[in-house]
Each structure stands twice: as C-alpha cells, then as structure tokens.
C-alpha cells in the first residue's frame, strides 16, 4: 500500500476529486437502496402489527385498484362471514368517503351574514365503522375525550335504520386543529361543498351536526392527515345511504383467530361469498414489494450512470498516474519486480482511492437519508411514530462496500495493463 499512498500524496488535489466523485456516486446508490429498504421494512412491520389478516373488497377488485366499489349488505356480512368461517374472529365493515365539515364559527358567521373572505367548509376524509366490532384490529389512539360511547351501530337498528343517530364523531389531531375544535364542540357534516357564502345557511340546514367525543392520533391505515371517524350507519346517512338497500361499505377488514391459515380462509370466504374478492396480507406485502422493486430498479439505473462516470474518471486519473510515474515503474521492473506486482501497485492505488470515496460517501448517504426521512415524515401526515422511509441495514452497507471494490478494480484494469506493458529499456533511456 506504500506505493498507493505515495502516489496519492504526490497529487492530493486530483486524488481528492477522484475520491469525492466515487463517494458521491456510491452515496447516491446507498441512499436509494436505504430508502427502498426502509419503506419495505416499515410497511411489513406495520401491516403485520395491524391485526388485519384478510381484506375483503368488491368482486374483481385488485390491490392496485384506485377505487373501491361499494360492498352491499355490509352489516350482514360482518355477521355472515364469521358464521361461514369459524377461523374469522372479526369481519369489520369500513366505509371510506370524502365529506365536508363546518364548525361553529362558520355557522355563526353564516347566520350573521358576515362570512369573512376565504371561509368555506373543510373537505376531508371520513371512516364509517362499528367501533365495538374492531377487536384485534389496530385503530387510532384517543388522546382526548372518551371516544364512542354507544355499543354496536345504533342508527342501523338491525337493518331498519330507524334507530337514533349517535351524533358522535372522533377527529384526528390534524382535522381538529384545522377546524379549531376540541372535545365537546359541534361540527356539521355534509356530503357536498357549499356553493359560496350566500349558500352557507342552506348548507348548514342540510348538514348533520355531530359532537366531538374524542381527538385521536394519525391513522396510517387510511393515510390522510385530516380524518374523521363515525359510526357506519351515521356516515352512510350523510353520504346518501342509510337504508336496507344502500347498506354498503368500501371494504371489510378481517382478523383471524389463526392467521397462519390465511390462504385457506381466503378460499373459504370467496367460495361462500362470490360477490367478494379476498386479499391476504401476503398479497398486500407482495404488491408493496413489487412497487418498491420498481423504484429500486429505477434508482439503481440512475446510480449506475454515476458509478460508470466515477469509474471512467478514476480510470483516467490512474492512467495519468501511470504516465507520470512510467520511469519509476520501469525502474521497479528493472530491479526485479514482476509485471504482476507492478500491476498490483496500480490496482492498490485504485482501491485506496475507492476506499477514501467510501469513507466520504457513506456519511453523505446517511446524513442525506436522515434529512430526507425527516422531510418526508413532516410532509406526509397519518404515519405512525415508528415509520421510517430509510433503513441502513447490513445488506445496504455491504452493497456500498461491494460497489467501492468494483469501481476500484474496474478503474485499475487499463492503467494496470499499461503499467505492465511499459517498455523498460525505452523508459530508462528516455530523457
């Protein structure tokens, strides 16, 4: 290694730029791999811990489907599916919809006909479910308030939809902040947005008031920073359902007694209910893996361009080093060093430059990944506190080391071959 360090010390500027180029290229690839590893690991951990073993959607729905066609007879299915498969502990119907919220301040302004400019009801996502029928499934934690107080789904009333509306709603912290409400306050919910300030009185008259009974944390299962939770039949009534013929949901989340038989339970439920498509957790994770692989491949292609450029740059620098020291290399040959040993000197110089690049690239990748992870977590709401977009595991770091060795060795091939082929007599006679 003495020869390599001596060559690097003689031309510190050129060597530093070469190592920096290698480091940036390797750091970029490591960063991209760390992102794909982090998303994959976090998604797998969250999906496994969610308690959701199967997802039932409308027939012919795929994992990548952008919309969820309604599932009819949602309340009945929540009872019929466990009856058809004894391994089903819970089949929880969820209705996911977009609705519009108004608060008391806007209501007061509308009644006083003095609505400030820019004040309109707030559109956001809502989940309708049966709160007491989510046993085993992860749901958002309530930070303030008691949460839902009534068991079952009161307004559903065994299919008659003649029971009282609960008028209870839970808001996540983001939506509660936007609306400026807390536990005990009223919010009004409507399926349509108000046409303008002059129509706000009519909008409130046609909206349903709900009292906030809880403020929850973000909910990763429905990735939205602004989210509300209502009883299933209450939300059905708001969005135009709420009758025996319009008892629908977006999907059913199924928790199994024994999750190891998920594929068997999938077949049993699809056979008993042809109107449903049942998706296993393994299929969900497989879809996530495919999506991650696409981005990983794209990232590797981008990184490969940088690596090729870095290797060519390193090759040029090593070639210049051989030319600058051609007389010295010829002298080494003359005093007994073999061609292979002279070539090894050049390869060692390439590896040392690459190793310095690794020492530069890994910290850059780590700091860049940390900052990117923090930015994305701030940008995307509804993620749990333990979610990370990056993961520096052993495989990612080993791949970075492999790239460095590859760059150093590939860059040294042509310069080493030139060093071994130098005409000793001519170089020694040269002025």
Domain annotation covers residue 234: yes
Lowest mean pLDDT among 16-30, 84-98, 148-162, 281-295: 281-295
Task: Answer with the one of 245, 274, 303 that is the final residue of a domain.
Answer: 274
Evaluate if residue 269 carries a pLDDT over 90: yes
Looking at residue 245, what is its pLDDT?
78
> Is 187 part of a structural domain of the chain?
yes
What are the pLDDT digits (tens) for 149-177?
A: 999 999 999 888 999 999 999 999 889 99
Residue 252 DSSP symbol? E
If asked whether residues 93 and 225 sit together in one domain, one would say yes
On the question of pLDDT at 199 being above 80, the answer is: yes
Give domain status of residue 51, yes or no. no
Domain identity same for 138 and 260: yes
Give the total number of structural domains in the chain. Answer: 2
Q: Is the pLDDT of residue 218 over 90?
A: no
**pTM summary value:** 0.71
94, 223: one domain: yes
The dihedral sign for the CA sequence 16, 32, 382, 137: negative
pLDDT in tens, 233-256: 999 999 987 677 789 999 999 999
Looking at the structure, do residues 184 and 250 belong to the same domain, yes or no? yes
pLDDT of residue 426: 65
Q: Which burial class, exposed, middle or buried, applies to 230 when counting CB atoms under 10 A from its CB (0-12, 13-18, 19+)?
A: buried
Residues 76 and 206 in one domain: yes
Model confidence at 429, pLDDT cuts 50, 70, 90, reads low
pLDDT the model gives residue 7: 60
For 330-341, the pLDDT digits (tens) are 777 777 778 777
Q: Can you spell out the DSSP letters for 336-393?
A: T--HHHHHHHHHHHHHHHHHHHHHHHHHHHHHHHHHHHHHHHHHS-S--TT--S----
CB atoms within 10 A of CB 254: 31
Domain-located, residue 369: yes
Q: Which domain holds residue 330?
A: 2-46+286-429
Q: CA-to-CA distance for 81 and 376, rounded, in angstroms?
A: 39
pLDDT at 384 over 70: no
Q: State which of 242, 274, 306 marks the end of a domain.
A: 274
In this predicted structure, the answer to whether residue 292 has a pLDDT above a threshold of 80 is no
Domain membership of residue 42 (yes or no) is: yes
Q: How confident is the model at residue 128 (pLDDT cuts 50, 70, 90)?
A: very high
What does DSSP assign to residue 133?
G
Distance separating alpha carbons of residues 132 and 152, to the nearest angstrom: 6
């Amino acid at each position: 290694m003495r020869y390599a360090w001596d060559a690097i010390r003689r031309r510190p500027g050129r060597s530093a730029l070469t190592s920096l180029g290698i480091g940036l290229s390797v750091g970029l690839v490591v960063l991209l791999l760390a992102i794909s590893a982090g998303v994959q690991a976090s998604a797998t951990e969250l999906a496994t811990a969610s308690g959701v073993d199967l997802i039932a959607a409308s027939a012919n729905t795929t994992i990548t489907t952008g919309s969820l066609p309604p599932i009819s007879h949602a309340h009945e299915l929540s009872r019929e599916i466990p009856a058809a498969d004894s391994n089903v502990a819970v089949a929880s119907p969820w209705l996911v919809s977009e609705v519009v919220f108004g608060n008391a301040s806007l209501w007061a302004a509308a009644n006083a006909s003095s609505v400030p400019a820019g004040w309109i009801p707030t559109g956001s996502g809502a989940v309708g479910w049966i709160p007491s029928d989510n046993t085993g499934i992860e749901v958002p934690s309530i930070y303030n308030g008691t949460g839902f107080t009534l068991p079952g789904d009161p307004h559903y009333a065994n299919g008659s939809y003649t029971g009282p509306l609960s008028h209870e709603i839970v808001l996540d912290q983001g939506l509660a902040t936007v609306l400026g409400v807390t536990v005990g306050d009223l919010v009004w919910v409507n399926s349509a947005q108000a046409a303008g300030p002059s129509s706000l009185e009519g909008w409130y008259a046609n909206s349903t008031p709900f009292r906030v009974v809880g403020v929850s944390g973000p909910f990763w299962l429905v990735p939205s920073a602004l989210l509300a939770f209502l009883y299933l039949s209450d939300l059905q009534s708001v969005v135009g359902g709420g009758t025996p013929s319009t008892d629908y949901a977006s999907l059913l989340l199924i928790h199994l007694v024994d999750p190891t038989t998920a594929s068997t339970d999938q077949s049993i439920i699809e056979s008993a209910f042809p109107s449903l498509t049942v998706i296993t957790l393994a299929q969900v994770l497989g879809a996530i893996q495919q999506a991650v692989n696409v981005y990983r491949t794209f990232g590797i292609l981008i990184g490969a361009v940088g690596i090729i450029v870095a290797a060519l740059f390193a090759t040029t620098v090593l070639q210049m080093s051989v030319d600058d020291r051609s007389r010295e290399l010829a002298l080494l040959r003359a005093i007994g060093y073999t061609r292979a040993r002279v070539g090894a000197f050049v390869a060692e110089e390439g590896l040392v430059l690459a190793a310095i690049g690794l020492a530069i690239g890994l910290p850059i990748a780590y700091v860049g990944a940390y900052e990117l992870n923090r930015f994305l977590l701030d940008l995307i709401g509804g993620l749990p506190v333990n979610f990370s977009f990056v993961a520096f595991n052993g495989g990612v770091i080993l791949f970075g080391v492999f790239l460095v060795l590859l760059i150093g060795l590939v860059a040294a091939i042509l310069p080493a071959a030139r060093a071994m082929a130098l005409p000793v007599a001519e170089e020694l006679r040269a002025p």
